[in-house]
Amino acid sequence: MTLLFLYLLLALSISFMCSIMEAVLLSTPQSYIMTKKESRWSKKFLLFKKNIDKPLSAILTLNTVAHTVGAAGVGAQATIVFGEAYFGLVSAVLTILILVLTEIIPKTIGANYWKKLLTIAAIIIQIMIFITYPLVILSALITRMFTGNAHGLATSREEISAMASIGADQGIFSQKEHIIIQNIIKLKNVKVSAIMTPRVVLAIADENLPISIFLQSKHYLKFSRIPVYSENEDQITGYVFRQTVFEKLAEDQHDMKLKDIRRDIVIVHNSKTLFTVWENLLERREHIALVVDEYGGVDGIVTMEDIIESMLGLEIIDEKDTVADMQSYARERWKLREAKYSYLNEIKDE
């Protein structure tokens, strides 16, 4: 009877410990461990996470040995003590004990208390690897034969997005912070055409206009950078900086033309992503870009302000802005224009 309980206790104890270690190993996020890198055992645990084959092999090897030896020992002793008639009953009881005491309970503990168990788990797993080292190496060689040296991407954009959503639900991030994180993640997927100011509401000027006449139109004073064209509105040649116009006017250079203070404008295709345009503008140290279609025609403009608004998830209103959403304004203007032409067509038909 003593040997029966000894085999049972030994098998359940080792398997219980292995299951907890497995749950802690798989439940601990690598990002959390990296915040605790000053600890020696946290560094060791981080190595386990990066090369998870070794610790998993050690844990599963010990767990399998415990189950196998324990079941064999308990079965043999049960036959001696109770006879073969009770062998089936003993096997059923042992199965329930293994399921509850070495699977459900320890893995639940490991999954819920991984933060508290992190250090002790690192120590125990290191001991397990030492004990089963030959089998761990053999397992690694066999695994490499089937999987090679390829490792999947540790963390994808979708996972970061999901973690941010979970953080917002748990109160770690505010709703505004959550929106900013999600928008930044999407920068590489959103096309510039989605946020540009469309051509229909562009404030553009003839580059041959003298600055004195240019400033007579209050329409241009709403914008800090105004695109200029040469022969027609599809031939954008650059842009003028409003502040430069004021400076030249203060110097009494009233007859100076806009083309004399024109600056080159960055040109981007409407299929480019916000991230690409953002990098382009930063590299060129510019704040505005001309968006063109596949035929080189003017599609609209995009500014640093537009991209920042997209990241922050709000409209940045300049003190001179009278329209918050230029795209909505464009749609309203198209509706008015369409209604006007429909009315004129009705008059012609009459």
CATH number at residue 214: 3.10.580.10
Query: What is the structure's pLDDT at 139?
Result: 82
Average pLDDT of the residues in 120-132? 93
Average pLDDT of the residues in 239-268? 90
Average pLDDT of the residues in 71-89? 79
Same domain, 136 and 212: no
Query: What is the structure's pLDDT at 227?
Result: 92
Whole-model pTM over 0.85: no
Number of domains, the chain: 2
Average pLDDT of the residues in 66-73? 86
Residue 74 has pLDDT above 70, yes or no: yes
Residue 347 has pLDDT above 60, yes or no: no
**How is 77-109 classified by DSSP, letter by letter?**
HHHHHH-GGGHHHHHHHHHHHHHIIIIIHHHHH
Strand pairing class (288-292; 236-241): unpaired
CA atoms within 13 A on the CB side of 322: 7
Per-chain mean pLDDT for the chain: 82
**In the chain, what is the straight-line distance between the N-terminal and C-terminal CA atoms, in Å?**
110
Residue from 134, 151, 146 nearest 57 by CA:
134
Same domain, 313 and 196: yes
Q: Is residue 13 part of a domain?
A: yes
Same domain, 137 and 13: yes
Same domain, 234 and 110: no
Residue 191 has pLDDT above 60, yes or no: yes
Query: What is the structure's pLDDT at 318?
Result: 45
Same domain, 234 and 292: yes
Average pLDDT of the residues in 116-120? 91
Same domain, 225 and 119: no
Query: What is the structure's pLDDT at 26?
Result: 92
102 lies in which domain range? 2-147
Residue 243 has pLDDT above 60, yes or no: yes
Dist CA 318 CA 196 (whole Å)? 17
Query: What is the structure's pLDDT at 30?
Result: 82
Digit-coded pLDDT (tens) for 130-187: 999 988 888 878 877 776 655 554 567 788 888 888 888 888 888 888 888 888 888 8
Query: What is the structure's pLDDT at 348?
Result: 41
